[in-house]
């Protein structure tokens, strides 16, 4: 158990589906992050939240929609995805924004068919 829990572990969805990824951190951290990990590419930062406020949107397409209702929970809402969006989506948290290290969850393996 990493202190950062993500569900589901695996998700297969069609391009017209709507689904959500969930992340919960039990570390008392104030900042939470979404990263995308594709094969043979570096982890890509998608979104950053600090005290529930979004501080960064790294040019992510609007078919990805984050939500942070409180400092412990983070969601990523997905709709009308493309096959190239298939990847491992990792959630992370840190004590505060811009304060490494980040602590990662196990990720959600997403396949878009």
Partner 1 sequence: EDKVVQSPLSLVVHEGDTVTLNCSYEVTNFRSLLWYKQEKKAPTFLFMLTSSGIEKKSGRLSSILDKKELFSILNITATQTGDSAIYLCAVEAGGGADGLTFGKGTHLIIQP
Give per-residue burial for 48-72: e unless 16+ CB within 10 Å, then b: bbbeeeeeeeeebeeebebebeebb
Q: How far is the CB of 70 from partner 1 (least distance, A)?
A: 19
Q: How far is the CB of 56 from partner 1 (least distance, A)?
A: 5
Give the residue carrying structure tokens 């992510």: 60
Q: How far is the CB of 72 from partner 1 (least distance, A)?
A: 18
Q: Judge contact between 5 and 105, C-beta under 8 A.
A: yes
Using CB under 8 A as the binding rule, the residues of this chain from 7 to 66 that contact partner 1 are 9, 31, 33, 35, 40-43, 45, 48, 50, 55-56
Closer residue to partner 1 in complex, CB, 6/112: 6
Closer residue to partner 1 in complex, CB, 57/70: 57
Q: How far is the CB of 3 from partner 1 (least distance, A)?
A: 10
Phi, psi dihedrals of residue 66, rounded to the nearest 5°: -85, 160
């Amino acid at each position: 158990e990493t202190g950062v829990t993500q569900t589901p572990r695996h998700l297969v969805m069609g391009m017209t589906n709507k689904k959500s990824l969930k992340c919960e951190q039990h570390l008392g951290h104030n900042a939470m992050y979404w990263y995308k990990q594709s094969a043979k590419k570096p982890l890509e930062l998608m979104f950053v939240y600090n005290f529930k406020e979004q501080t960064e949107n790294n040019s992510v397409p609007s078919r990805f929609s984050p939500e942070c209702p409180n400092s412990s929970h983070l969601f990523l809402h997905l709709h009308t995805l493309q096959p190239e969006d298939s990847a491992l989506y990792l959630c992370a948290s840190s004590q505060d924004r811009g304060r490494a290290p980040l602590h990662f969850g196990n990720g959600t393996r997403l396949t878009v068919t």
